[in-house]
Amino acid sequence: MGGATAGRPRGFSVAWRRHKEALVLIAPGALVLVLAFLFPVGHILVLGFLGEEGVSLEHYAAFFVDDYYLGVVGRTFRLAFVITACCLLVGFPLAYLAARVGPRARILLILLVILPLMTSVVIRTFGWLVVLGPGGVLSDFLQAIGLTGAPTGLLHTETGIVIAMVQVLLPFMVLTVLGVLQRQSADLEEAARTMGASFWRVLRTVTLPLSVPGIVSGSLIVFALSISSFITPTLVGGVRLPVLAGSIYQAATGSFDWNFAGVQSTLLLLTALAVIIPYASLMRRRTSWQTGAAPGAGHE
């Protein structure tokens, strides 16, 4: 007995001695994470369950019986799906091109894709306000080619939100897909072509299936960023097209209803996790399958 109780602290001190450097190195990061992330997020999770008298589900009930908020959630997800699909449609060909051209052209393409990331999303969104707004470039263009007679624009429309968001999130898709495409051996495609497959058939049966991990992971990043983004939908969409993140901001700073903001934040977090966790486990299974199968496949 005595030996067992004495063993525990010794075990700890052994662990400490063995991992001292690692523990010291991780401490500042862990501290920041606890103070700036876990603590506030935990606080918000708790707020959603606090009623007038102790623990209560009243704020959740208020959310789920309300057509308005369900509509906000509906718009948020609808937009996120469309944005993700558009990012994929635009991003995959771009990534494919970047992966198959020479190194110099690739750097140029990558630079073009990540250059917008160097600018704040707020600044880029303000740019879109000028372009999409009435009396803006788009409006002038439509008038010049005679499509519309009066100043018009895509400001305060869902189309406008999608256009601006795709521009903001495209780099995440392109870079993720590019990473996977670059690891693919071009020999596989060439082999398929020599066997007489057309470009499209190769794309469909070789390139695309092998790119699935990149496509899935890029889509998830874009989707998660899209449902939680706030600045661009709020500025481009305006108050008549509320999304979930904007609604949280409004509840916290407009109505000072922190409990309700907590409910909405928790639901946003849960939906993001509901998308990410199955993906993570799927990817783990896939990776183990690939590493298991890879040597054989490589030699075929």
What is the rounded CA–CA span in Å between residue 117 and residue 75?
26
Nearer to other proteins by Cβ, of 169 and 252: the residue is 252
Q: Is 42 in the site for other proteins (CB under 8 A)?
A: no
Nearer to other proteins by Cβ, of 181 and 252: the residue is 252
| Closest distance of CB 116 from other proteins, Å | 23
Whether 139 contacts 151, CB under 8 Å: yes
Q: Is 200 in the site for other proteins (CB under 8 A)?
A: no
- Given 241, 243, 261, 268, the residue binding other proteins (CB under 8 A): 241
- Find the binding residues for other proteins in span 66-85 (CB under 8 A): 68, 71
Query: Where does this chain touch other proteins (CB under 8 A) — which range of 1-9, 207-215, 249-257, 285-293?
Result: 249-257
Whether 135 contacts 151, CB under 8 Å: yes
What is the rounded CA–CA span in Å between residue 74 and residue 129?
24
Query: Where does this chain touch other proteins (CB under 8 A) — which range of 84-92, 202-210, 218-226, 238-246?
Result: 238-246
Q: Give the x/- contact pattern for other proteins in 127-146, rule: CB under 8 A.
A: --x---xxxx----------
Nearer to other proteins by Cβ, of 184 and 250: the residue is 250
- Given 242, 245, 268, 271, the residue binding other proteins (CB under 8 A): 242
Q: Report which of 267, 215, 204, 244 is spatially closest to residue 61, judged by C-alpha positions.
A: 267
Identify the H or E element spanning 28. helix 2-33
| Closest distance of CB 154 from other proteins, Å | 13
DSSP string, 96-161: HHHHHS-HHHHHHHHHHHHGGGGS-HHHHHHHHHHHHSTTSHHHHHHHHTTS-SS---STTSHHHH
Torsions phi, psi for 66 (to 5 deg): -100, 115
| Closest distance of CB 228 from other proteins, Å | 20
- Given 22, 103, 123, 256, the residue binding other proteins (CB under 8 A): 256
Q: Give the x/- contact pattern for other proteins in 154-173, rule: CB under 8 A.
A: --x-----------------
DSSP string, 176-204: HHHHHHHHS-HHHHHHHHHTT--HHHHII
Identify the H or E element spanning 59. helix 58-64
Query: Where does this chain touch other proteins (CB under 8 A) — which range of 28-36, 205-213, 236-244, 289-297?
Result: 236-244
- What are the tokens at 49? 């369950």
Cα distances from 198 to residues 94, 137, 204, 274, in angstroms, run 20, 41, 10, 39
Nearer to other proteins by Cβ, of 253 and 281: the residue is 253
Which residues in this chain contact other proteins in the complex, by CB under 8 A? 68, 71, 129, 133-136, 151, 156, 238-242, 250, 253-257
